[in-house]
Amino acid sequence: MTAAPDTAAPDAIDPDVERWASLRRRDPAADGRFVYAVRSTGVYCRPSCAARSPRPENVVFYTSNAEAEQAGFRPCKRCRPDGPSQSVRRAEAVAAACRLIEEAEEVPHLEELAAAAGMSPHHFHRIFKQVTGVTPRAYVQAHRAARVVDVLQQAGSVTEAIYEAGYGSSGRFYESAGGRLGMTPTSYRKGGVGETIRFAVGVCSLGSILVAATERGVCAILLGDDPDMLLRDLQERFSRAELIGGDADFEATVAQVVGFVEAPGMGLGLPLDIGGTAFQQRVWQALRAIPAGRTASYAEIADAIGEPAAVRAVARACGANPLAVAIPCHRVVRSDGGLSGYRWGVERKRDLLDRERREAVQ
């Protein structure tokens, strides 16, 4: 046995009641606010650590890793308080699952995806939904439907497109493509004619924010200084749809989007209605695979979609993104790490990246 580490910290005398409660709940929201060290093992942990609860008399609280280490404690190998946070590790596991889905010849089962992520199917399903806003099944279907969008834009008729994309019966296509496109294939071909879009303008820490949604999901999140400019932007993007101001019900959606913009790492628990060309959709899909707290270069995104020469087209697709933060084009930077441009202002890009980095190191 080695000597017990020094435990002469003020918290040892008066253990914080709130910290104890967080520790007992294994509350991931408390991660980053403090760590606890266990005198009997010489190890310090995040509040969310899944290890057996320590005896109260053995616990010392510290506000930082450095303090715990100075007092002679080692980081726990299980909860890795010195490594990426649980939310970052989860985002990485989900991003890896998305890649599995995209690369698989045959659609992988939930059990396979969960096993690859090292989680139970139930847990994986919950985490995937939390991070992406959609279920693994919906993501698989969306990926398949992306091919239909591709064919729809060239094909002579909707029926032709359905058969060319490999769907046996048109009934099944309408079922799954409706959820993906946010409108039926016929209205998609007409550029959204007959679609009704609700919208509202609010305020967030980044300035004005316009949130718009079809009945299928959020179709635009626009950021700026001037609400009128945001509305004009919306009108240009959806020139053939009917735009109506959001009612009281819609406020809840706006509130949820604003909450998400303030803490992107938490994920947006709302379905998205993503339009755009087939190429834009592929770029945007790749952007959504970059976890919060990370960045990628335009060239890396071009590689990721299998078009290494299309770096400029990738940059244009980032600029055309209608869903600020939800499609995280702010996580794309120059190859040398420089911020480059941002459709909604480079200052907002810097703010977003800063806050995601802060969330990630907790």
DSSP code per residue over 18-55:
HHHHHHHHT-GGGBTTBEEEETTTTEEE-TT--SPPPP
Which CB sits closer to Zn ion, 53 or 70?
Answer: 53
Q: What mask, x for binding Zn ion by CB under 5 A, covers residues 155 to 174? A: --------------------
Residue type (1 letter), 49: C
Which CB sits closer to Zn ion, 45 or 97?
Answer: 45
Binding span for Zn ion by CB under 5 A among 37-45, 172-180, 214-222, 314-322:
37-45
Q: In the annotation, is 76 catalytic?
A: no
Out of 24, 25, 55, 78, the residue judged to bind Zn ion by CB under 5 A = 78
Q: How many CB atoms lie within 10 A of CB 239?
A: 10
Residue nearest Zn ion by beta-carbon distance:
76
Binding span for Zn ion by CB under 5 A among 79-87, 167-175, 199-207, 209-217:
79-87
49 CB-contact burial (10 Å; exposed 0-12 / middle 13-18 / buried 19+): buried
- When asked if residue 234 is in the footprint of Zn ion (CB under 5 A), the reply is no
Query: Please, what is the minimum distance in Å from the beta carbon of residue 74 to Zn ion?
Result: 10
Tracing tokens 């703010």 back to the chain, one arrives at: 351
Q: Rounded CA gap, 179 and 134, in Å?
A: 11
- When asked if residue 49 is in the footprint of Zn ion (CB under 5 A), the reply is yes
Return the bridge partners of 244, or none. 198
- Pick the catalytic residue from 45, 49, 98, 219: 45
Q: Do residues 196 and 214 touch, judged by C-beta distance below 8 A?
A: yes
Query: Please, what is the minimum distance in Å from the beta carbon of residue 51 to Zn ion?
Result: 5
- When asked if residue 45 is in the footprint of Zn ion (CB under 5 A), the reply is yes
The two beta strands, 296-297 and 332-333, are parallel
- Pick the catalytic residue from 76, 79, 318, 329: 329
Q: In the annotation, is 219 catalytic?
A: no
- Total residues in contact with Zn ion, by rule CB under 5 A: 6
Which CB sits closer to Zn ion, 49 or 274?
Answer: 49
Cα Dmax for the chain = 79
Q: What is the DSSP letter of 344?
A: T
Q: Rounded CA gap, 61 and 139, in Å?
A: 41
Query: Please, what is the minimum distance in Å from the beta carbon of residue 46 to Zn ion?
Result: 6
Which CB sits closer to Zn ion, 60 or 286?
Answer: 60
Query: Please, what is the minimum distance in Å from the beta carbon of residue 358 to Zn ion?
Result: 22
- When asked if residue 55 is in the footprint of Zn ion (CB under 5 A), the reply is no
Which CB sits closer to Zn ion, 51 or 266?
Answer: 51
Query: Please, what is the minimum distance in Å from the beta carbon of residue 49 to Zn ion?
Result: 3
Contact residues for 247 (Cβ-Cβ < 8 A; gap 6+): 198
Strand order in the sheet with 43-45: 59-62, 35-38, 43-45, 74-75
Query: Please, what is the minimum distance in Å from the beta carbon of residue 211 to Zn ion?
Result: 39
**What's the full length of the chain, in residues?**
362
Out of 23, 60, 68, 79, the residue judged to bind Zn ion by CB under 5 A = 79
Out of 38, 68, 71, 76, the residue judged to bind Zn ion by CB under 5 A = 76
Q: Rounded CA gap, 65 and 32, in Å?
A: 9
Q: Which tokens belong to 179?
A: 């959820």
Binding site for Zn ion (CB under 5 A): 45, 49, 51, 76, 78-79
- Residues annotated as catalytic (active site), given as ranges: 45, 329
